Amino acid sequence: MKWNELKDEACPVARGLSVVGDRWTLLVLRDCFQGIRRFDDFQTRLGITRHVLADRLKKLQDCGVLERKLYQERPPRHEYLLTEKGLALHPVLVSLVHWANEWTPQPRPGGMRLVSRTTGEPVEPLLIDRQSGEPLTPRSLRTRRLD
C-alpha cells in the first residue's frame, strides 16, 4: 500500500484518507466549516506555509471537496467553498472534536465545545444506525467484502 495510491484501495478508510489524510487537510476543512473562504485567512489562522496551503486547496478542489469561485473580477479573486461532498465530511470532524474533548487534555483557559446553534446547549454526539436507531459500537459492527 503506497500513500499516493490509497485512492484505488478497496478499503474505504484508505480511500477516505487519500482525501483527508494529509497533514493540515482536516484543519483546512475545519476552517471552511467555520466560514473561512480566502487564501490569506486560511494562511493566517493556520500558520501553515503558503506553499502547502496552495497544494492542499488544489487537491481538495481536484477531488471535489472544495469549489473555487470567482467573487471579484479585476483583479480576479477566488474564494473556496465546501461542496456537498465536503459538507458530508462534517460527521468526521464532529466525531474527532468529541473524542478530543473527552480524551485529550484541555488547555486552560480556552476550551471549545460543540453547542446547538439554536439553544446554545452543549451537544453530545452519538453515532447510531439510521434504520434501527441502535448505537454503533466496535462490537456491533463488522466490515464485509462485496465481490
Phi then psi dihedrals of residue 72, to 5 deg: -165, 140
Q: Please tell me the distance from the alpha carbon of residue 56 to that of residue 20, in angstroms, as a whole number.
A: 10
Q: Does residue 26 touch DNA according to CB under 7 A?
A: no
Minimum distance, C-beta of residue 73 to a second copy, in the bound complex (Å): 29
Q: Please tell me the distance from the alpha carbon of residue 33 to that of residue 92, in angstroms, as a whole number.
A: 12
Minimum distance, C-beta of residue 89 to a second copy, in the bound complex (Å): 6
Neighbours of 36 (CB within 10 A): 19
Residue 2 or 144 having the CB closest to DNA: 2
Q: What would the x/- binding string for DNA be over residues 53 to 92, using CB under 7 A?
A: -xx-x----------x-----xx-xxx-------------
The number of C-alpha atoms within 13 Å of 76 and in the hemisphere containing its C-beta is 3
Q: Does residue 27 touch a second copy according to CB under 8 A?
A: yes
Residue 70 or 146 having the CB closest to a second copy: 146
Q: Does residue 24 touch DNA according to CB under 7 A?
A: yes
Residue 47 or 75 having the CB closest to a second copy: 47
Q: Which range in 23-31, 53-61, 73-81 contacts a second copy by CB under 8 A?
A: 23-31
Q: Does residue 127 touch a second copy according to CB under 8 A?
A: yes
Query: What is the grid cell recorded at 47?
Result: 500558520
Q: Does residue 116 touch a second copy according to CB under 8 A?
A: yes
Beta-carbon contacts of residue 12 (< 8 Å; ≥ 6 apart): none
Beta-carbon contacts of residue 134 (< 8 Å; ≥ 6 apart): 128, 140
